[in-house]
Amino acid sequence: MKSNKYLRIFIILFLLALNIGCDQLSKSIVRHKVQYYDRIYFFHKQTYITHVENTGAFLGVGDSLTGSARTILLNLLPLIAVLYGLYFILTRRDLDRITLLGLILIVGGGIGNLYDRIVHGLVTDFLFVNFGLFQTGIFNIADMSIMAGVFMILIHSFFQKKKDEAETNLSNDNF
């Protein structure tokens, strides 16, 4: 049983490292190969890569903060959140695989952006997608990871709730 515990921890840490590594590698490539605000277009100009440095959080929220408010809201609180998230995913053995993977993606993305903010003082963003009526802001792999993790958990929870309701209705019909 102990080997299963260590294997689980190894897999979690491996997935986190892979997630953070992909994020940091992509940001490093953009920092070194793409000039600020240049655009490299893909998919009939629906998607492009650019180089933007974000001094705030998601979509620049909090970029005008200064001093201790900035440190607390953009560094300290996210640090506490990712440390708690890391503790949570490493110690909770009752999480189903989809929820666990979603949480790994959220924590990994959080660590990737927090690392940038602490080491570089800002976060490198570089992806933009135009879906016609819907356009994204400029984002990075860590942001994608966080959003994918949130969507995985929400969709899984929705279908799990529907499944539980169906099973409850089925068991109630048997009486």
Catalytic residues: 125, 143
Span between the terminal Cα atoms of the chain, in Å: 40
Query: Strand pairing partners for 40?
Result: 49
Tokens of 110: 């959080």
Q: What are phi and psi of 61, to 5 degrees?
A: -60, 130
Contacts with 126 (C-beta within 8 Å, 6 or more apart), sequence order: 26, 27, 30, 34, 49, 50, 51, 52, 138, 140
The type of residue at 93 is R
Contacts with 89 (C-beta within 8 Å, 6 or more apart), sequence order: 12, 95, 100, 103, 104, 107
- State how far the Cα of 65 lies from the Cα of 13, in Å rounded to an integer: 33
**SS3 category, 87:** helix
**SS3 category, 173:** helix
